[in-house]
Amino acid sequence: MNAISSDALNSLRSIEGTEDQTRVLNRLAGLQLLPRKESVQSAMSVCAKSVSLIRHTQPMLLKQYIPLTVEGDVNCLYRAVSMAMYGCEDYHVMLRALTAAEVLTHREWYDASLPNCRNPLCAVSEIVMPSYEKLVHDVTHLGGSCDINAVLALSAVIGFPIHTSWPLLSASLQP
């Protein structure tokens, strides 16, 4: 893990409640997104399980996208974006830390309880918005789960849209 990732990891480990958010943001203030690198195709491997699932649920996706393997440790969103941007998973902690900083500094985009919430997903009735406190907890803890709001925040951090696809459950996939 590089020095930036170590600092980001220490910052994420140190956050406990809103009183520490300012301290964490101060520690993350110097952290910046590294420039994108040309991906090294040989370092990437296709995820056969994802290909199989997509082939059964939404085969048209395979005409546009190739699912890649990343470590499945609940940091997979950040690992996948690290893979896409840098050709390796090594920068997932930095990306999570920058996402945490995004959520903490732009509350009006991520707190659905605010009357002036700017999050466009608030208007989508099929999306259940988490509490701001849960979102902060999840993005500031390694292994914290990620919902669509974390995807939105990470997209803001990297300056690119992140497309997600949720397979429709067919009868053969339901328990």
pTM: 0.76
CB contact at 8 A, 165 and 58: yes
The residue ranges of every structural domain in the chain are 3-13+39-158
Helix (H, G, I), strand (E, B) or coil at 51: helix
Each residue's pLDDT expressed in tens, for the chain with a length of 175 residues: 344 445 555 555 555 554 455 655 666 666 667 677 765 555 678 889 889 988 988 889 899 988 888 887 888 899 999 988 888 888 898 899 899 889 988 999 999 999 999 999 888 888 888 899 899 888 888 888 888 999 999 999 999 999 887 655 555 555 4
| Structure tokens belonging to residue 143 | 């292994």
- Which CATH code for domain 3-13+39-158? 3.90.70.80
CB contact at 8 A, 57 and 173: yes
The candidate with the shortest Cα–Cα distance to 104, out of 18, 10, 16, is 18
**Could you say which DSSP state residue 59 is in?**
G
